[in-house]
Homo-oligomer: A and B are copies of this chain.
Amino acid sequence: SSPRPQDINPAIEDMAPKAPKFEIKTPKGTRDWSGADMVLREKIFNTITNVFKRHGGVTIDTPVFELKPHPTGKYGEDSKLIYDLADQGGELCSLRYDLTVPFARFLAMNKDISQIKRYHIAKVYRRDQPAVKKGRMREFLIYSFDIAGLYDPMIPDAEIIRIINEVFEGLGWQGKYTIKLNSRKILDGIFQVCGVPEASIRPISSAVDKLDKMPWEDVRKEMVEEKGLAPEIADKIGKYVVLKGKRDLLEQLQKDEELAANPSMQQGFADMDLLFTYLDAFNAGHSVSFDLSLARGLDYYTGVIYEVVTEGSAPKVSAASADASAEKSKKKKGKAGEDEDRSDDPTVGIGSVAAGGRYDNLVGMFSGKTQVPCVGISFGIDRIFSIMRANQAKKERKNEVDVFVMAFGGGKDFTGLLKERSEIAARLWDANIKAEFLYKVKPKLQNQFKAAEANGVPFALILGEDELAQGKIKIKEMGLPEDHPLKEGELIDLKNLTKEVQVRIE
C-alpha cells in the first residue's frame, strides 16, 4: 500500500525549499478583495453613493476602534461578538460593531450639528461564526445612510424606504427584494397586550427576531424554556407574529379592540398610517411587507424597523430539522467549532441584505442630555456582492488603461525605443490619458500585444524608426475584425498625438 502522508521520511521534507513558519492566509472570516470582485464592488459603491448624494447625503468617517465603554451595553445579546484590542497600556478600545453607535457618539460630540443626512461607508467587526461564501463575514463592509434631527413625524422614515428602493433598483434587483417593515411600538404593544412582563420584552423580542431562521415551535421553546415566559402568553404572541400584509394588515389590527386600547399600539398605528401615506407619495410602497415577525435584535431601536430580504436570505433547511439529522451523524464528525466556516451549512442563509430603523434615544446615551432623533439604514455589501457575483456573466476589464505604447522593430540595431516610449507615455499622462507600456528595454512586438490584450486595453500606439523619422506614429484599435479597413491602424502626426488619441477613446 502507498504511504500515508505521516509516513513520509522527515528528512525528505527538509530538502524542500524553506517554507515560512506561519500559514499564509487572512484571518478567519476576513478576505482580500481584488480583480473582478473589486471591479464589481466598486460598481456597487458607485450606484449606492450616487443614491446617497441624490438625497443630500454628506459623508463622514470615524476611527475603526472606539473607547471600550462606548459600544458595549447597546447591542443586547450580541455584545459578546465585540472584538477588543489588547491592553498595551493607555486606553481600552474595541473595534466598531456597527456604524450606528459611532454616529451617535459623533453627534453627541458635535453639538452644533442638530440636523444631518450622513452616509458612512466602512467595515465593521463581529466575532460571529463565518460563512464566507454567503458573505457572512467577521470583517464586513457596510454602507449606512442616516437622517438625524427633529422633524415632523415619519417623513424621514419614508425617505429611507424610498432610498432602499432606489439602491436595489439601481443594482438591477427589480422585483427581487422585499422590505420587511414593522414598528417597535406595535411590537411592544402586542407584547403588553399578550401579558409579557416589562423586563422580558427585549429578550422575548430577540426570540421573535429568530423567526426568519427557525420555525415557530423553536422560538416558542426559547421563550418558554429559556426565557421563562408562560406558555399561554407565548401562544397568544404566536397568533400575531405570523401576520403579514400592507395597509390592509394595519386596518385589520386597528379593528382589534384589545390592541386599539393600548397606548404604545396607538402610537404605532398613527406612525404606520402616516408612513403608508408618505410611501404612496414617494411611489415607494411596492416592495414593502408589513411583517409582525420582524423584531431586530438590537436594543436601541425605538420606532419603525426594517430589514431587506431576497432569495437566499433564509436558510434552505431549518436548524431544528438539521439538528435531528445532525444527531444521527454525530459520531462521524464533532460539532463545528465557532471559528469554522459554515458556507456549506444549509441551516445558514445569506440573511438580510440591509437593515435599520429609528433610534431616538441613542445620542442621549452619550450626550447625557441632548437627544437627536435618528432613522437610518445599513446595506451589507458583502452579502449583496455574493448574490450579484453569483449572477454575473460578462467578463470585466481589469484596469481602465486606454492606450498601450509599443515599439516595433527588429534586427540587431533595434534599440527598443524605450526613451521614446517613455516620452510618449509622459505626454499622454500629461493630457490625463490612461496609458501603459512594457517595462522592457527591447520588447518583442508580440509580447507587447499580449500584455495589452490581457488587460483589454482598447488602443495600441506603435512606434517605429521609419515613422518616427517622418514625425509620425501608428495608432491601432485592438480587436478589429480581419476585413476591417483600419485593421492595420492609421498613421497620425506626432505633434497632434494627444488630440488624435482623445478623439478615438471618447
Interface residues of A in 20-46 (CB under 8 A from B): 20-28, 30-35, 38, 41-42
Residue A188 CB within 8 A of the other chain? no
A87 to B56, CA, bound (A): 42
| Range for the number of chain A residues in contact with chain B | 35 or more
| Contact in complex: B60, A429 (CB < 8 Å) | no
User: Which listed residue, B58, B60, B282, B422, touches A422 by the CB 8 Å rule?
Assistant: B282
Chain B residue nearest in CB terms to A123? B64
> Are B152 and A441 within 8 A (Cβ)?
yes
Find chain B residues with CB under 8 A from A27 CB: 63, 65-67, 91, 93
Q: Which of A4-12, A346-354, A393-401, A473-481 contacts B (4 or more CB under 8 A)?
A: A393-401
> With the chains together, A498 CA to B321 CA distance in Å?
55
- Select which of B38, B66, B106, B366 is within 8 A of A60 by beta carbon: B38
- Interface flag for A491 (CB, 8 Å): no
Residue of B nearest to A155 (CB): B439
Question: Given A283-B426, A422-B281, do A434 and B24 touch, yes or no (CB 8 Å)?
Answer: no
Across the interface, name the chain B residue whose C-beta is closest to A454: B115
B54 engages A24 (CB within 8 Å): no
CA distance A346 to B343 in the complex (A): 55
Whether A284 is near chain B, meaning CB under 8 Å from some CB there, is yes
A85 and B86 contact, CB distance less than 8 A: yes
A106 and B28 alpha carbons, distance in the complex (Å): 15
Which among B35, B55, B63, B87 is the interface contact of A429 at CB below 8 angstroms? B55
**Chain B residues with Cβ under 8 A from A278's Cβ?**
418, 422
A88-127 interface mask toward B, CB cutoff 8 Å, 1 = contact, 0 = none?
1011010100000000011011100000011000010101
A-side residues, CB < 8 A to B, are: 17-28, 30-35, 38, 41-42, 50, 53-67, 69-70, 83-88, 90-91, 93, 95, 105-106, 108-110, 117-118, 123, 125, 127, 139, 147, 149, 151-152, 155-156, 158-159, 162, 166, 277-278, 281-284, 338-339, 365-369, 398-401, 418-419, 422-423, 425-426, 429, 432-436, 439-441, 455
Some 17 contacts from A to B, beta carbons below 8 A apart, are A22-B70, A24-B108, A31-B63, A32-B61, A38-B59, A38-B61, A54-B433, A56-B435, A64-B95, A64-B123, A64-B125, A83-B85, A86-B87, A117-B399, A281-B418, A281-B422, A282-B423
The 7 closest A-B pairs by CB, nearest first: A151-B439, A281-B422, A30-B63, A84-B86, A22-B69, A33-B61, A34-B60
